Amino acid sequence: MDTLTKPLILAPILLTCYIIAKTYLTLIHTPLARIPGPKLFALTKWRLAYEDYRGTRTRYMHTLHAKYGDTVRIGPNEVSFNSLSALRTIYGAGTVFQRAPFYRMFDAYGRRVMFSFAGSRGHRERKKLLNHAYSKTSILSPRNASMVETKARQFIDLIEREADERGTLEIFGALHYFSLDTITAFLYGGNPLGPTTTLTGKPDRALLDDILDHDRRKLSWFTVHFPKLTEWLYSRTGVLESVLTYLDLLPMRKPSTYSGIRTHALAAAETIHESSISGSKILDANACITERLLSATRTETAKGAPLMDHIDVAAECADHLLAGIDTTSDTTMWVLFVLSQPENAIFQEKLCAEVQSLDLDVEDGDGKVVSALTADKIPYLDAVIKETLRLFAPLPGTEPRFADTDQVVDEYMITRGTVVSMSPYTLHRNPAVFMDPLRFNPDRWVDSSAEEITEMKRWFWAFSSGGRMCIGMHLAMAEMTTLLASVYRTYRTEIVPGFQGVSPGVTARYEVFYDEQFPRMEEHVCWVRFVKK
């Protein structure tokens, strides 16, 4: 046998041995083998990656739970759960489970942010600097409440100014303007650079272009599954960058997702930092998150133990900015969309009646806006928002975690390093807890028995839970309640003819979520008619 023939014979033999060994180790010789699920998913991570690429991961996993039960093996080293006991074990207080490397895609300027810290220590140290600023007491303080009310008033003005003669307005974009202007005002206070003016003027609206680009999903997929390749592609300059762009080899053409927002956030943070160190008037830390973090940084540096530098501050604020745009605007859009459906007219009428019954003295001088304090206490509005969050959670997909040691979850041995996850999408569609789970029905939150409401709240996971619970929850609720109460005090809403039977689609990581009961979907578009009462 010559030297050329040997490799040709040995190669398929070695490949066959590898496949057999891999199959044995993955499907048989592992504690995860006890966990039910489709064998192809257990054999290779690329089966689930294919669903990721199609944008169907979360919905497909929902069907797997319906078929296999509350615990499903969805990869060689990945398991999905759907039970309250698993929720407490994986995400509850004192959990040993950490955030998976997946979250590093949310780093900014090469720095970790509170959202991307894997372990609890780094997350806890960063969060304690911000807890008070995001507390409900702080959000509903006169300063912040007034700011939210101002943005709600500007949105009402936008309806009057930019809707056509029939009151028709594309609300997906308009609500992004509202959430962007609100979060930048909250983060950057009176700094002349940071706060945006998309509700009252158009120049800043270009900041949202890369966020609204449909290709951001493809970029997210490549970032998760081919991180080194993606980093290499987007770090090329000069002739090679031109060639990659010309050949359309980038997952998303530059500027890539969040580029505009992150550039804006960095410039704003650096301006505040430079004004501070030059002796200029320092912004009130109670009115500016950026200054609050910079003040903490200066204090820690003076002690000889710097907690973070101004780039870390810029990164943290950029992450809060990005987190505060899609989540709030998408949820508010879903409320307007579902209430505008003819079959949900009864729910809209109940909300309008509740808001209309408010005393005039709870409003500001021009009568357009319900105060944030009052909006926070409107029971049926709370039920409408809660039901919307149940069906259309801002981040409906899985929240991956892992542990450094072997752990037992729901009586299954989970070997160290195994990725475990749960999703609001599946939790919120449990028919044993939520009767007729696909139906929008805010009455379930007010007409059910106390025991039933308690059980539904236990399964409600729109804002996550434990130490990683969404820090911006109270700001988001203040924005949504103030805006929606003000809108439905002045208007009733309808779906625009021609858009009936069409669900808007919203991007979440590498998936598009929509109302699956509609025959068609149009991504990032939602037309609603505002009819004055």
401, pLDDT greater than 90 = yes
Secondary structure element (H or E) that encloses residue 185, with its range? helix 171-188
Encoded tokens for 175: 């609500």
pLDDT digits (tens, 9 = 90+) for 230-269: 999 999 999 999 999 999 999 999 988 888 889 998 888 8
Domains and CATH numbers, the chain: 77-213+257-532 (1.10.630.10)
**What's the one-letter identity of residue 148?**
V
> If pLDDT is split at 50, 70 and 90, which confidence band does 302 have?
very low
H-helix or E-strand containing 122?
helix 120-128
Q: In what order do the strands lie in the sheet with 71-75?
A: 71-75, 78-81, 419-421, 401-402, 98-99
The per-residue pLDDT for 363 is 46
Containing 451, the helix (H) or strand (E) segment is helix 450-459
Average pLDDT, the chain: 90
pLDDT category of residue 202 using cuts at 50, 70 and 90: confident
**Spatial contact of 315 and 504, defined as CB atoms under 8 Å apart:** no
pLDDT in tens, 12-35: 777 777 677 677 667 788 999 999
Looking at residue 198, what is its pLDDT?
Answer: 95
**How much of the chain exceeds pLDDT 90, in percent?**
67
Instruction: Give how far Cα 461 sits from Cα of 249, 422, 423, 453, Å.
Output: 38, 10, 8, 14
Dump strand ranges (E) for 150-308.
168-170
Q: For the segment 215-228, what is each residue's pLDDT rounded down to a tens digit?
A: 999 999 999 999 99
CA angle 407, 456, 79 (to 5 degrees): 25
Which residues have CB under 8 Å from 390's CB, separation 6+? 428, 434, 460, 462
Give the list of residues 6+ apart from residue 285 with CB closer than 8 angstroms, or none: 291, 292, 295
Kindly tell me the number of DSSP H helices and DSSP E strands found in the chain: 23, 13
Q: What is the pLDDT of residue 362?
A: 45
Q: What is the pLDDT of residues 328-348, one digit of tens each?
A: 999 999 999 999 999 999 999
**Encoded tokens for 280:** 């200029």
Specify the pLDDT at position 281.
54
- Does 88 score more than 50 pLDDT? yes
